[in-house]
Amino acid sequence: MGMTINCDMGEGFGLYRMGDDAALMPHIDLANVACGFHAGDPGMMRATVRLAKQYNVKVGAHPSLPDLQGFGRRAMVMTPQEVMDLVTYQIGALAAFLQAEDMALNHVKPHGALYSMAAKDEAIALAIADAVRPFGVPILGMAGTAHERACKARGVKMIPEFYADLDYDGDGNLIISRSHEAVDPAKARDRVLRVICQRVVTTTGGNDIPVEAATICVHSDTPTAPAIAAEVSRTLRQMKAGNGA
């Protein structure tokens, strides 16, 4: 399939809305749908699945720590079994809505603090892989971290991703804040081009570090997300056309 664009979606709750899913969906390939623990509710999950179906976008689960107030971006102390159970629970909820719409679960991508914890903590990463394995789908994660090692240990495919709208520190870790600032779409495009063409990203310290990616993430709550997704999508199409693919 080549390089894809993925986006976290359905991240409102009740009357509250987060991000412009309708504006983003035409420009992405994979939708990571919130499953109720950091955002999302039954009605929103169904609506997001239906919107993805309208645009032929593949849908994956976006499980989180149980943290609605903190939007899943606060770390918690949890046992591996607790993590495995909460991930299984959330995947199952989304899988039910997908089945109702005659769609298949495509992947799983942990959210926020759970994603960061799993990148560094082997036990947490293994718990997530154990939860995902029965569903037979890949995990979206970061290459060279516990994400990748856990997937390899459990025989779960991992799709490495790069973040177009987040910075990386000198150790290659994502810098995740409670809220996202606007990012210049042209800057995001240039970052993506460097990853594709040179396989490097410039850290906040000004150094280039290697990065491996098969999918590009754009956060729906980044204020300029629709413009970023449109620009990156246009660039990927141009590259594909130039390669004769």
DSSP 187-227: HHHHHHHHHHHH-EEE-TTS-EEE---SEEEEETTSTTHHH
* Cα–Cα–Cα angle for 121, 106, 182, rounded to 5 degrees: 65
- Give me the residues of the chain with pLDDT under 50, please: none
Residue 174: what pLDDT?
Answer: 80
Rounded to two decimals, what is the model's pTM? 0.93
Q: Which amino acid is at 31?
A: A
Residue 122: what pLDDT?
Answer: 98
Residue 107: what pLDDT?
Answer: 99
Residues 34 and 60 sit within 8 Å (Cβ to Cβ): no
Show the tokens assigned to 136: 């037979």
Residue 172: what pLDDT?
Answer: 80
CATH number given to 4-242: 3.20.20.370
